[in-house]
Amino acid sequence: MQGTMMHFPLTLTGILERAGRLFGGVEVVSRLPDMSLHRYTYRDFHRRARALADALQAAGLRRGDRVATLMWNHYAHLEAYFGVPAAGCVVHTLNLRLEPADIAYIVNHAEDRFLIVDDVLLPLYEKFKDKVHLQRVIVVPLSKGPVPVGLTDYEEFLKSATGEFAYPELDENEAAGMCYTSGTTGKPKGVVYSHRSLVLHSLTEGMVDSLALGHQDTVLPVVPMFHANAWGLPFTSTMVGAKQVFPGPHLAPEALLDLYEREQVTVSAGVPTIWFGVLQALQQQPERWHLVPGLRMAVGGAAAPEAMIRGFDRLGIRVIHAWGMTETTPLGTVSYVKRDLRDVPEDKSYGLRAMQGIPVPYVEVRSVQGDAEVPWDGRSMGELQVRGPWVAASYYRLPDASDQFTSDGWFRTGDVATITPEGYVKITDRIKDLIKSGGEWISSQDMENALMGHPAVAEAAVIGLPHPKWQERPLAAVVLKRDAQCSVEELRGYLAQRFARWWVPDAFVFLDEIPRTSAGKFLKSSLRTRFKDWTWE
């Protein structure tokens, strides 16, 4: 027997229409390159996103055509997030931190037809324009300067709308967005988000036990809109009609804190790199900024060290630690203390929050070693595999990558994890970063997080290097806080109190900075190359 409910497609146009109709007066604020603030309301956003859809159709784009964006976080990118899919096309966000040759590869692989680019990013476009075949390049005049000859002014393009736009009848499984993973090895791989997956992801992300996004919130995504859809925040915020604030290209701690105060931001999101800086700025000048009490900061993309969670707590800022990937749209797990663990001692409670968390509804997890699922005992390590309605089932035009998907329908994340009996996922490493010493695995992330809890340490990365006797042994690369001093013996002793003796790194090196990927994660392959000829004493 079938249910008697309507067949109602889950498409982004529903979110756009609702926002225009119900939340017309809510503001969208964007920091422009010259530091000034651009303000308008959902009413303007709705009109302009529809005009963009209209103009794209009038310019000859067809269902499923890809429109690339090379943009910072701001109002026009938000318009593309909704306007492009509303035309039946696919918004393909390009990572502006990649090498020009990689961007060209991605544009060509995705067969992008149009590109929307910030005027301030035209110098980057110049570096790959001869390697791609775009039919039209539309320039957003953020700096109000003239648009180069041969390119289209975004504002003029919007004016070319016919005014007779009607939403196409979209199937919820049609592609709406696209993003290439910024992996540290191999060619980038394209993930294609459907309308349905983005809508379901938004519904889940807004839930109280997820990021708890509501209409009363003011949301500032620091995470770039070219990285896993800024973790879906622009979609979810628009769904609930929250005020949205975009930092543009200004991501320095002071600039962010200024926006938090000025716009009374209640929720922000980004990678730990950003929060290290914000936390330090706040600790150095605790009186300077007047932030909304209870400001929530979603931290993901890399592990949120316990010391960071505690540091923000002391300032009245609540860290929400979450795990996800480009392939999971990205929300997979969120860490909060379950009710039957409410009375655990404070240390244990922080330990839980520093884990990656429990799966959100409809994301299923398992940890697999060899062919067998390992028990949820909080100790057994295996590869984390996930499945769910917003988890990729394949990559775009990349049949060779099928080994990332299991024959029984799970996605192999490449992360190594334990799962506790209560269902908390704890990422211990990337598979390729695991250190194997004397036949036993050592988890680098646990030690990094512990090191980053030492008062003198700003950042730490632990890598495995070849060892004649043990196969591999750990080396810790440590960045000390400004003006801090600390000896190797001190760090060794500090770790020895917390870990088995054979886990403690044999070598410590002090660096000025840890190399990072375009997404701000530790680039351990670069460290391994740098220290590949290391000789153990």
Residues with a catalytic annotation lie at 181, 327, 436, 441
Select from 53-61, 321-329, 449-457, 529-537 the region that touches ligand AMP (CB under 6 A). 321-329
In the complex, least distance from residue 259 CB atom to ligand AMP, rounded to whole angstroms: 24
Q: Which of 67, 91, 200, 302 binds ligand AMP (CB under 6 A)?
A: 302
Q: Which of 303, 331, 352, 416 binds ligand AMP (CB under 6 A)?
A: 303
**Residue 375 token pair:** 């028990």
Q: Which of 323, 424, 503, 522 binds ligand AMP (CB under 6 A)?
A: 323
Asked if residue 378 lies in contact with residue 351, where contact means CB atoms within 8 angstroms, the answer is no
Residues in the chain: 537
Distance CA 201, CA 20 (A): 21
Q: What DSSP designation does 87 have?
A: T
Select from 12-20, 242-250, 255-263, 320-328 the region that touches ligand AMP (CB under 6 A). 320-328
Closest by CA to 404, choosing from 102, 185, 88, is 185
CB-nearer residue toward ligand AMP: 89 or 519? 519
Count the site residues for ligand AMP by CB under 6 A: 21
> Binding mask 24-63 vs ligand AMP (x if CB under 6 A, - otherwise)?
----------------------------------------
Strands 507-510 and 318-324: unpaired
Q: Is 411 in the site for ligand AMP (CB under 6 A)?
A: no
Q: What DSSP designation does 536 have?
A: -
Q: What CA–CA distances, in Å, run from 295 to 220, 239, 257, 260, 267?
A: 11, 21, 12, 9, 6
User: Taking the chain, what is the end-to-end CA distance rounded to the nearest angstrom?
Assistant: 73
CB-nearer residue toward ligand AMP: 11 or 413? 413
Q: Is 356 in the site for ligand AMP (CB under 6 A)?
A: yes
In the complex, least distance from residue 244 CB atom to ligand AMP, rounded to whole angstroms: 21
Asked if residue 360 lies in contact with residue 320, where contact means CB atoms within 8 angstroms, the answer is no
In degrees rounded to 5, what are phi and psi of residue 383?
-75, 135
CA 33, distance to chain mean position in Å, is: 22
Looking from the CA of 397 toward its CB, the CA atoms found within 13 Å total 9
Binding residues among 499-528 for ligand AMP as defined by CB under 6 A: 519
Q: Is 326 in the site for ligand AMP (CB under 6 A)?
A: yes
In the complex, least distance from residue 20 CB atom to ligand AMP, rounded to whole angstroms: 31
Q: Is 225 in the site for ligand AMP (CB under 6 A)?
A: no
Closest by CA to 46, choosing from 11, 72, 98, 82, is 82
Q: Which of 174, 383, 415, 448 binds ligand AMP (CB under 6 A)?
A: 415
Q: Which of 218, 413, 443, 444 binds ligand AMP (CB under 6 A)?
A: 413
Distance CA 503, CA 448 (A): 12
CB-nearer residue toward ligand AMP: 70 or 384? 384
Q: Is 181 in the site for ligand AMP (CB under 6 A)?
A: yes
In degrees rounded to 5, what are phi and psi of residue 519?
-95, 5
Residues that bind ligand AMP (CB under 6 A): 181-182, 228, 300-303, 321-326, 330, 356, 413-415, 427, 430, 519
